Amino acid sequence: MPMSVDDKSRSSSNFFNNKGRCKDSCLIIIFGGSGDLAKRKLFPALANLMFKKLLPEQFKIVAVGRKPMDIPQLLSMGKYSEDFAAKFEYLQTDYSPEGIKKLKATCDRLCKENNIPPNYLFYLAIPPAGYSEVAAALKKGGMVHQPKGSHWCRLVVEKPYGRDIESAVALNEDLLSCFAEKQIYRIDHYLGKEAVQNLLVFRFANSVFEPIWNHHYIDHVQISHSEILGAEDRADYFDQSGLLRDMIQNHLMQILSLVTMEPPVSMSADSLRDEKVKVLRSLRPLDLTEEPPVAVRGQYGPGLIKGQPVNGYREEKGVAPGTSTETFVAMRMHIDNFRWSGVPFYLRSGKRLGRKGTEVVVTFKKLPKILFNTKSTPVNNNRIVFKIQPQEAILLELTSKNPGQSFDLSDTSMNFCYSDHFDTSADAYERLLIDAVLGDPTLFVRSDETELSWKYLDPLIKGWAAQSMGSHFPNYVAGSEGPVEATHVLLSHAENMEWLDFAKYDNVCPPPTAP
Ligand code: BG6
């Protein structure tokens, strides 16, 4: 049976023409086209893709928005070439049947004028409350065609994808009543990051690590995301969401899946996502009565960032008075399968902390204290540190002998900095956008993944919602490492069990160059 275009795997050369460009001419239709995400992320990524000659020869971008706007205003936030600006059409409309009719007429005209077949990439860069409405309006307006032959139609959906299990299931139902699963591209921009994708290559393209990647050798894993930024101008959204929904349910749990999944049978989208789903299915259900606690939350108070005083979260504009919304989460997770039985996974993420960085640290078990251990020079655990950002690096922490007559030991490290070897300036959105245009959903999230991660977090979401933090918040100072309670989730199975000092990895590589 011939494959539809949406069934091809990325390794297929069918995607590109002989000039290395994406083969299929198309229209990229951005809802929320005059909004912040489009201007900050999507337009620069599209401009770079065009500059790199990856986008098809023939394509047009239709920015759809409610405000009146012309192209110079639309592109005023960046420096774009005239060629890029010429790709744009701005359409001021809403999602009413009349509005969609206008959109359809615009798309028909652009396809005709530019000899583009009806290949549509719809991108929802709008508030999530509008996702179902737009999908239904497109379907009703006759703009959604099922993948057939070489013509396609896809929907890219931004996060947040639901706010709990019920809303995620409802959203999936709504979108799946308009588009087939293989047409829906749910974005998690962490999957577009090179260092996140490299977790797979590190594990499955290097023979030395896979045999020891299990509970026999690994003591525990820490995944940490630390931001200097606070809620900023997104407080309206963030105060309704909180850190658990904003970072853990998606980005950090995606990283966890990639670090722990079994090797997929191939690199096709479904093989990879099947394995991530198995990890999510193996997560031990959260028990809020467990001691030590499986999760703690925090909220920042006023403090100093780089010597400058900053407000506490409750003082930010757009935040409800006395809010219990968390800006910090620390959690312990267990994956109850053969590979990971007994290995704790610690996840931590927070806003308005003292540094920016995302790291995954795999700590190996200690050797018996027989040969070299002394009080002054203990043999420490080996560690593999994956620095995801801002610099991208992999470090292998080892113990080495100090030169001299005795066996005195030192902690040493073998460092690999991406920037020494590669140009790493491409933004995650570039990779994700070109994949969506190509029709490769490998780095997008499947419906069952979103539902399983929401289902897993559900007891915590509900438990925390039922318990206001009134006078317990704020519990950490802006610019600090987060609340002291973060250590409560750590099991004392190993001596000196603590959150690692991630700041010590900050300067292992040269600072990243501005994109
Ligand atoms: C977004 C969250 O998804 O990720 C933000 O909504 C967060 O609150 C951001 O700041 C972090 O992304 P990055 O790529 O800067 O680590």
**Ligand 1 close to Cβ of residue 181 (< 6 A):** no
The pLDDT, as a whole number, for residue 186 is 98
Q: For all residues of the chain together, what is the average pLDDT? A: 93
Q: Comparing 126-130, 367-371, 428-432, 465-469, which segment has the lowest mean pLDDT?
A: 367-371
pLDDT band with cut points at 50, 70 and 90 for residue 328? very high
**Ligand 1 close to Cβ of residue 246 (< 6 A):** yes
User: How far does the centroid of ligand 1 lie from the alpha carbon of residue 351, in Å?
Assistant: 10
What does DSSP say about strands 153-157 and 300-301: parallel, antiparallel, or unpaired? unpaired
Checking if the pLDDT of 8 tops 70, the result is no
Checking if the pLDDT of 465 tops 80, the result is yes
Angle at 465 between CA 172 and CA 223, to 5 degrees: 70
User: pLDDT tens across 13-46, in order?
Assistant: 567 777 788 889 999 999 999 999 999 999 999 9
The CA–CA distances, whole Å, from 389 to 358, 360, 508 equal 5, 10, 12
Instruction: Return the amino acid letter for 195.
Output: A
The secondary structure element, H or E, covering residue 216 is: none
Atom of ligand 1 nearest to the CA of 193: 14
Question: Within its chain, how far is the Cα of 268 from the centroid?
Answer: 19
The pLDDT, as a whole number, for residue 513 is 62
Atom of ligand 1 nearest to the CA of 428: 14
Domain boundaries 12-158, CATH class: alpha beta
Checking if the pLDDT of 5 tops 60, the result is no
Q: Active-site residues: which are they?
A: 251
**Ligand 1 close to Cβ of residue 188 (< 6 A):** no
Contact 259, 265 (CB under 8 A): no
Q: Where are the domains of the chain?
A: 12-158, 191-505
User: How far does the centroid of ligand 1 lie from the alpha carbon of residue 153, in Å?
Assistant: 28
pTM: 0.95
Tell which residue, 192, 241, 267, 151, has the closest CA to residue 457.
241
**Ligand 1 close to Cβ of residue 427 (< 6 A):** no
pLDDT band with cut points at 50, 70 and 90 for residue 11? low
Q: Comparing 202-206, 230-234, 435-439, which segment has the lowest mean pLDDT?
A: 230-234
User: How far does the centroid of ligand 1 lie from the alpha carbon of residue 458, in Å?
Assistant: 21
Tell which residue, 51, 59, 48, 50, has the closest CA to residue 24.
59
- Beta-bridge partner residues of 393: 387, 417
**Ligand 1 close to Cβ of residue 227 (< 6 A):** yes
Pocket test for ligand 1, best of 227, 254, 351, 392 (most atoms within 8 A of CB): 227
The pLDDT, as a whole number, for residue 368 is 87
Pocket test for ligand 1, best of 223, 251, 391 (most atoms within 8 A of CB): 251
Look at the domain 191-505 and name its fold.
Answer: Dihydrodipicolinate Reductase; domain 2 (3.30.360)
Distance CA 290, CA 292 (A): 6
Question: In the chain, what's the furthest Cα-to-Cα distance?
Answer: 85
User: How far does the centroid of ligand 1 lie from the alpha carbon of residue 270, in Å?
Assistant: 26
Checking if the pLDDT of 515 tops 60, the result is no
* Listed ranges 140-149, 232-241, 343-352, 504-513; the one with the highest mean pLDDT: 343-352
pLDDT band with cut points at 50, 70 and 90 for residue 139? very high
Which amino acid residue places its CA nearest to atom 8 of ligand 1?
246
Tokens encoding 100: 């969609």
Checking if the pLDDT of 6 tops 90, the result is no
Averaged pLDDT, 97-103: 94
The pLDDT, as a whole number, for residue 232 is 85
The pLDDT, as a whole number, for residue 2 is 46
Averaged pLDDT, 431-437: 96
User: How far does the centroid of ligand 1 lie from the alpha carbon of residue 74, in Å?
Assistant: 24
Distance between the two ends of the chain, CA-based, in angstroms?
44
The pLDDT, as a whole number, for residue 1 is 42
**CB count, 10 Å around CB of 506?**
15
Checking if the pLDDT of 362 tops 70, the result is yes
